[in-house]
Amino acid sequence: MTRRGFTLIELLVVIAIIAILIGLLLPAVQKVREAAARASSQNNLKQLALACHSFESANGGLPGLTPAPSGTNTNSFGYSVHARILPYIEQENLGRTFDTNSTPLFTGVFPVSLALNPAVAATAATPVKTFLCPADSQNPLYTVIVGGGTHAGTNYVVNIGSGRVGIGQNTYDPRFPTDGLFWYGSRVRMVEITDGTSNTLMWSQCLRGPGTGTLTGTPLSALSPEQRRRMYASIPRGVNPTGGLNPELTEAEAFTATTWVSNRGGSWIWGNPTVNGFVAYFTPNSQTPDLTAHGQGWLSARSSFSGGVNVALADGSVRFVRDSINRATWWALATRSGGEVVSGNDF
């Protein structure tokens, strides 16, 4: 008795059916993965917000960006909010390796001999899971950064403020008090968030840059869409000693810039808004590239998730904010005492 096998045509039909089924299932699998990554990211943000609450209870104010203990450019080379809350996210051992008040993060003089302090080099290069979004596949280690050395990055950024500026307004200059929750030397108390803790942004997300250094002489058209989302433009400007830039930035300059920096999210330990802060001037995942000068400017909240970003509010709750949020509402959420009226249905 002979056994009949598959013909070539039958085999091709089976293969085609399997390919169709895989094509139908793949989007569903991707959605499940994105949902899981989003939930994990929200959990990270929840921990970061609660850590800030614990810090505020223990120290009488939220952790600000810490100026460097000594040396030049003290407002640029201190520690981040992330570094200050390590004991409150079960990273006590890492936090004990340095003292934000006495251990310089960098040594030497900027820009001639600035270098990462060898005493904190191992700490700076240690990835912290709570600081990383699982949806961002970029390498978390960065070697091209001010002061050299290796830094571990982060996807979570603190609210510097709304970024709305005008003549005599310095709300996006973190050397001075902003309308947000964090700046150099800030100690905002929860009772000072008069707009309501449930209506004030504390943390959001950023996409980590590619860490390829600074691209000079490169027009926007030469960047890929993904590079535009992960890099920020650097514009030459003078700095006013009393705050702000001279002249101030304009939105149009984001499209005509030719110098692009790749260290966004490139260090969790370094207290610099261009690295781990955000400004709400542009809405989430804005099509307008980020724009800075001298460490101040407009740095948007961005994520790998389609349609929006995760945020942690000052009350410790976590929300997913859509890219389509009204710009005025997004600004209002960034201010701690602006007097704007925002309801939960607005975002």
8 A C-beta contact, residue 347 and residue 321: yes
Alpha carbon distance 76, 295 (integer Å): 8
3-state secondary structure 114-139: CEECHHHHHHHCCCCHHHCCCCCCCC
8 A C-beta contact, residue 122 and residue 106: no
Give the Å distances, CA to CA, from 63 to 209, 300, 326: 25, 21, 29
Phi, psi values for residue 15, rounded to 5°: -60, -40
Specify the pLDDT at position 167.
Answer: 46
8 A C-beta contact, residue 249 and residue 296: no
Tell me the CB-side half-sphere exposure of residue 95, using CA atoms within 13 A: 14
* pLDDT string in tens for the chain (347-residue length): 555 666 777 777 778 888 887 777 667 556 667 778 889 999 999 999 999 999 999 999 999 999 887 665 667 789 999 999 999 999 999 999 999 988 999 988 877 778 999 999 999 999 999 999 999 989 999 998 888 899 999 999 999 999 886 544 555 788 889 999 999 999 999 999 999 999 999 999 999 999 999 999 999 999 999 999 999 999 998 888 878 888 888 889 999 999 999 999 999 999 999 999 999 999 999 999 999 998 888 999 999 999 999 999 999 999 999 999 999 999 999 999 988 888 777 77
Specify the pLDDT at position 9.
Answer: 76
3-state secondary structure the chain: CCCCCCCHHHHHHHHHHHHHHHHHHHHHHHHHHHHHHHHHHHHHHHHHHHHHHHHHHHHCCCCCEECCCCCCCCCCCCECHHHHCHHHHCCHHHHCCCCCCCCCCEECCCCCCCEECHHHHHHHCCCCHHHCCCCCCCCCEECCCCCCCCEECCCEEEEEECCCCCCCCCCCCCCCCCCCCCCECCCCCHHHCCCCHHHCEEEEECCCCCCCCEEECCCHHHCCHHHHHHCEEECCCEECCCCCEECCCCCCHHHHCCEEECCCCCCCCECCHHHHEEECCCCCCCCCCEEEECCEEECCCCCCCCCEEEEEECCCCEEEEECCCCHHHHHHHHCCCCCCCCCHHHC
Specify the pLDDT at position 70.
Answer: 67
Specify the pLDDT at position 168.
Answer: 47
Alpha carbon distance 68, 46 (integer Å): 28
pTM (two decimals)? 0.89
Alpha carbon distance 234, 337 (integer Å): 30
Alpha carbon distance 235, 241 (integer Å): 18
